[in-house]
A and B are shown apart, each in its own frame.
Chain A
């Protein structure tokens, strides 16, 4: 480095008050001998003095940020694009959720379908879905009592292709486990009048309790979240869905201590996604713990 290059660094550092005494002496000595660097030092000092200061933040900036943040969390569900995609992915799973209970001391049951394998059917008529799904169903007796204490309705998603129908909720007596060999069909037609038939699908033993825990945890999370529109969410409506890949990429993780995302997470939808406020909470399918949430655009 030639002297003037070194002097430039010293001149600059001097403007920032970052010279050691030794460097200061070196700079002084160089400036005494070099008129060019003396001129440079003066000009750079002048430039520094006239540098722009901080402008005021434009009016409305803060509110605009906060509005956008609020819009991230709980919003009326569709924009169409989002709504359609979501519904289609549900339908593609041929997921028809079970069930159940709201009146008359019936057990609330939460359906969950864990696997793919239903092809790309988007016309998820209940019977078609029933045909498409494997017949692994949980023993649910353990969880019946627990569910009974906190009954909730669950949406089923026998949506048409347009995805515009709202979810149907129905009530039916929870079937006894003993009566559930193979595919289990709740006799909603009998119990619930004209409501479409629904099916309960569960991935394995014990899944129901976890789903219940995930829903409960999601409610607790929502209540504690401080979301300004949380009261608009009808938490009586809950649905549990296996997360899909697109959703996985969108998750806002709050808790990664449980080993990070692996695609086995659940999405708990609280509220009515068909037009009212809803929130989509991501839970660990192994523990039911809340891991994060999905922004709804």
Chain B
């Protein structure tokens, strides 16, 4: 049912119907924006990249022949655009090591209050979340990409494999290495391990 709807929308959009494409934008914008947000760490860059991804999808709609779902195809476009962007940025910033990580004021993570946690522990969790967001930015693009796809976008190994054109087995081990890399990135932040330890410490 969902697929049929998407197919029909794509068909109409290919005929130049902007309303149909608008529905496809609605269906996909959150995922695409968040992919770009976690890849770049910057809401401004993410909004621009996500917009461009949709624009390029519209321009290149004729190239989409239904070999995957439209959502997957679009996601791949956006993912490639993010990687291109990051490489350009890296070159641009290679002389300046200052990287300002945007303070994400619009962060809307579901923060269910943990009744058992003390205010201190709550703060530590906040701190840990911030550290994870920052830590993601220090990972290699390859590692960040698979982690964002898996953890933020919630894609399965098979879906990630489709987007990146990798075997599921490769996806699996790359995700494992990415998780290890993230942990190392947090360790290098010093007191973060304490944060993890104390949060963990309250658990069973």
Contact = CB atoms under 8 A, between A and B. Distances in A.
A81 interface: no
A292 B62 contact: yes
Interface in B125-166: 125, 128-129, 132-133, 136, 147, 150-152, 157
A52 B109 contact: yes
Interface stretch (A62-70, A124-132, A182-190): A62-70
A55 B54 CA distance: 18
Interface in B166-195: 172-173, 175-177, 179-180, 182-183, 186
Contacts of B21: 69
Given A55-B34, A55-B104, A256-B62, A50 B125 contact: yes
B176 A13 contact: yes
A8 B180 contact: yes
Sort chain B's interface into a size bin.
Answer: 35 or more
Interface string A200-240: 00000000000000000000010011111000000000000
B47 A61 contact: yes
B200 A42 contact: yes
A58 to B, nearest CB: 5
A117 B58 CA distance: 37
A62 B29 contact: yes
B107 interface: yes
A58 B37 CA distance: 11
B172 A65 contact: no
Contacts of B50: 57, 61
A224 B107 CA distance: 42
B110 interface: yes
Nearest to A56: B108
A78 interface: no
Given A42-B200, A47-B179, A72-B59, A66 B51 contact: no
With most chain A CB atoms within 10 A of its CB, the pick from B59, B110, B157, B186 is B59
Contacts of A53: 108-110, 152
Interface of B is mostly: helix
With most chain B CB atoms within 10 A of its CB, the pick from A42, A51, A73, A228 is A51
A111 to B, nearest CB: 28
B55 interface: yes
Interface in B94-138: 104, 106-110, 125, 128-129, 132-133, 136
B18 A69 contact: yes
Nearest to A226: B17
A64 B44 CA distance: 13
A44 interface: yes
B55 A47 contact: no
A15 B157 CA distance: 12
A287 B129 CA distance: 61
Contacts of A9: 172-173, 176
A73 B16 contact: yes
Contacts of B196: 43, 46-47
A69 B58 contact: yes
B70 interface: no
Nearest to A73: B16
A12 interface: yes
B34 A65 contact: no
Contacts of B15: 224-226, 254
B202 to A, nearest CB: 11
- Which 4 pairs across A and B sit closest by C-beta, in order of nearness? A12-B176, A225-B16, A53-B109, A226-B17
20 contacts: A8-B180, A9-B176, A43-B183, A47-B179, A47-B182, A47-B183, A50-B125, A50-B128, A51-B147, A55-B33, A56-B106, A61-B33, A61-B50, A61-B51, A65-B29, A69-B55, A69-B58, A226-B18, A252-B62, A253-B62
Given A12-B179, A16-B175, 14 more contacts: A8-B180, A9-B176, A13-B172, A44-B183, A50-B125, A52-B136, A55-B37, A56-B106, A58-B106, A62-B29, A69-B21, A70-B18, A224-B16, A228-B18
